[in-house]
Amino acid sequence: MVRDQIASRGVRSTLVLDAMRKVPRERFLPAGEAPFAYDDSPLPIAAGQTISQPYIVAYMIDSMELERGDRALEIGTGSGYAAAVLAEMGCAVYTVERIARLARQARVVLEKLGYGAVHVLHADGTLGWPDAAPFDGIVVAAGAPDVPEALKDQLAIGGRLVIPVGRSLGFQELLRVTRTGETDFETDYLCGVRFVPLLGEQGWGGGSAID
């Protein structure tokens, strides 16, 4: 998987590649999906959600340019897989999930696999985790209509936010927003992607979307 799907497509960070080799992806999937864990595709998990294809997970994490010891915030815990990859990289990991069932399941799996230091919060991810800010990197696993101001505010100077943004629910542009000063940000376009909508106060719906 790492050689053929990730490294061959340009992901070069040894931290990311080594972490992707070590985290057992099948442990984050329903039993019936485990045989397909290392396929180059997204897969269904509980609550009608999905786990992103391995390459997208690696690419988005790589785009944050994190180093060991950095503080990382993930919006959309899902199964907990990406949080485990970040933890394996040696980051301090904070992850927010709006669906209570997924947050509970992710905590259990992460604990069983030795990633108990990952902080999991059941809350509106569009508001981030202000009490734990600032973060060196923020990654969002759902498509937003605009970049949430709350997430920009929680970036450290020099920190990078990787997020799918688009006014269409079926297609987004993956953006990297870098905080260059107290009120200054630079935005880079990375690629086109398709993600489920980011629900919440600063996402689609404009109100609380905690299940």
Our CA angle for 104, 84, 149, nearest 5°, is: 80
Cα 45 to Cα 31: distance, rounded to the nearest angstrom: 10
Beta-carbon contacts of 42 under 8 Å, excluding residues fewer than 6 positions away, are: 50, 51, 52, 53, 56
Cα 176 to Cα 178: distance, rounded to the nearest angstrom: 6
Give the 3-state secondary structure of 117-183.
CCEEEECCHHHCCHHHCCEEEEEECCEECCCCHHHHHCEEEEEEEEEEEEEECCEEEEEEEEECCCC
Domains of the chain from N-terminus onward: 2-205 (3.40.50.150)
pLDDT digits (tens, 9 = 90+) for 26-84: 999 999 999 999 999 999 999 999 999 999 999 999 999 999 999 999 999 999 999 99
Q: What is this structure's pTM? A: 0.96
Cα 41 to Cα 9: distance, rounded to the nearest angstrom: 15
pLDDT digits (tens, 9 = 90+) for 74-131: 999 999 999 999 999 999 999 999 999 999 999 999 999 999 999 999 999 999 999 9
Cα 62 to Cα 19: distance, rounded to the nearest angstrom: 11
CA 200 to chain centre: 16
As a whole number, the mean pLDDT across the chain is 96
Instruction: Compute the chain's Rg from CA coordinates.
Output: 16
Contact 106, 78 (CB under 8 A): yes
pLDDT tier at 205, thresholds 50, 70, 90? confident
pLDDT computed for residue 170 by the predictor: 77
- Which residues belong to the active site? 52
pLDDT digits (tens, 9 = 90+) for 124-171: 999 999 999 999 999 999 999 999 999 999 999 999 999 999 988 779
Token code pair at residue 112: 């069983």
Cα 185 to Cα 197: distance, rounded to the nearest angstrom: 24
